[in-house]
Each structure stands twice: as structure tokens, then as C-alpha cells.
Amino acid sequence: MEEEKPWVLISQVGGDFGYLEELADILTQHFQIVSHQDLLDNPAVHGPRIQVLFIWKYFPAAEPALLRLLPSLKVVASGGAGTDHLDLPFISGQGVKVANTPGVVSDGTADLAMGLLLASARKILEGHHIAIDPKTVHMPQSLMGVEVTGSTLGIIGMGDIGHKIAQRSCGFQMKILYHNRTRRSVEDEQAVKASYCERLDDLLRRSDFVMIVVRLTSATAGLIGRRQLSLMKPTATLVNISRG
């Protein structure tokens, strides 16, 4: 059976920038693994065998130079929902399929979005630093945050992740506005009590927290620039969990 398992190219197992050992076990159930370094050391031996390229946090990069070494490649499977790091037309043009992992990332990402919003609003970082600072002798009274409960959250990009963020914010009785290329259904809106803002500017003006949850495309690159920031309240916070 070992001989019949297809070969997959990955970055590396272990180390600071590779797969966790326990995740590599999932791969070895179905594949034989070649690390990127091993491929570069011996491309003639490994290259022709590889049918699958797994990309994790952008590595290995699916660039022409790499793909040229992989004549048998059938699919590029990228971990994560975002595909902005992949030249989709080019890869498809090579006869290679591309796969990503939407859905399964949504809860974790929405949780982190809320974690960032709350940590910023309630000054968790500063608080922790003061609490553990060797020089702290008194409790600080001036460390004041902003109220999250009842504030207005503006979600830019109401896909799966955006909708889950709205769901989490409901519990905090936040007023939820959203802007999306297309309006969501009435049921989707009512499920999370979100109000559609046809104009992004309206959302920016009214929100206490602006949450960016879009994919990176030519249409969204630089979506939030100087003008957009100047429309926001001086008391507002920008939270970005999409792409830099």
C-alpha cells in the first residue's frame, strides 16, 4: 500500500515555520511527503512523482519556477480561505486545479476578530503590562477603555466570517451595520439583527468599531484609505482580519 500512496510536496514538518508534527500525521495517512528542501536537493528524483502541492501560510510559493519542476502536478491545495497569493489563471492554465479551505476557518477567524476588538477596546495589552511591570506599586485608575456593549459595529464584507462575527456581536447587544457587494437575504440579516449600509461611507461615519472581513481582490485593495479613515469617528477602532 505504501507504494500506492501519491506524493505530496509541503514546506516542512516541524520547526518554527512548518507543520505541527500532529498535523503531518493526517497527511501521511494518505500521502507520502516530500519537503521543499528535499525537492530542491534532488529535483530529478522527486519532481516527477509529485501530484499534489500543499501550501500552508504561503509556503511553498506556487511560482512558475516551482511548478516547472512538477510535471505530474494535478492540484494545488492551499490551507486557508484566502487565495490572493495564488495566480489562479496561471495555475489553471497549466491544467492544475486549485483548492482552498473555506467554512472550516470561519469560526476560528470570527473568534479572533472578537478577541482583537475586545482586547483593543478594554486595553488588555496595556493592562497586562502594567499588572506585571516590576515598577507597578499602585493600581492604575486612569486605564480607561471604551464601552463594547451597545456600541455600533460596522462589518465590511458579510460573507461566512462576517456573518459569524455579527452573530457573536449580538450577545454584546451591539448595533450591527454591514456593507457588502450584494445585500444578504432578509433571514440572514434578521438572524443577526444587521442593517445594510448601501454606502460604505455611511457605515464608516456611524460605527464605533469598523471590522474588515473582505477577500483581497483588485476591487478591495486599498479599500480603506485616507478618505475612509477620516470619515470614521475619532473614537472609533479599526479591526482587520482580512488581508493587510
> Which residues contact another protein by CB under 8 A?
16-18, 20, 56-57, 107-108, 110-112, 114-116, 118-119, 121-125, 127-128, 130-132, 134, 136-150, 167-173
Q: Which residues of 74-91 are buried (b: 16+ CB within 10 A; e: fewer)?
A: eebebbbbbbeebeeeeb
Specify the DSSP element, H or E, that contains 120. helix 106-121
- Residue 155 CB, nearest approach to another protein (Å): 14
Residue 76 one-letter amino acid: V
- Residue 189 CB, nearest approach to another protein (Å): 16
Which C-beta is closer to another protein: that of 2 or that of 21?
A: 21
Residue 238: all three cell numbers together: 479599526
Residue 88: all three cell numbers together: 489562479
- Residue 17 CB, nearest approach to another protein (Å): 5
- Residue 184 CB, nearest approach to another protein (Å): 18
Rounded to 5°, angle at Cα 193 from 190 and 199: 100
- Residue 88 CB, nearest approach to another protein (Å): 23
- Residue 111 CB, nearest approach to another protein (Å): 5
Which C-beta is closer to another protein: that of 166 or that of 231?
A: 166
Which C-beta is closer to another protein: that of 77 or that of 105?
A: 105
Which C-beta is closer to another protein: that of 15 or that of 89?
A: 15
Q: Taking each helix axis from N to C terminus, what angle separates 124-132 and 106-121, rounded to the nearest 10 degrees?
A: 60
Residues 47 and 140: their CA atoms lie apart, in Å, by 61
Residues 186 and 27: their CA atoms lie apart, in Å, by 41
Complete edge-to-edge strand list for the sheet that includes strand 75-78: 32-35, 7-10, 50-55, 75-78, 97-99
Which C-beta is closer to another protein: that of 69 or that of 118?
A: 118
Residues 34 and 47: their CA atoms lie apart, in Å, by 9
Which C-beta is closer to another protein: that of 63 or that of 147?
A: 147
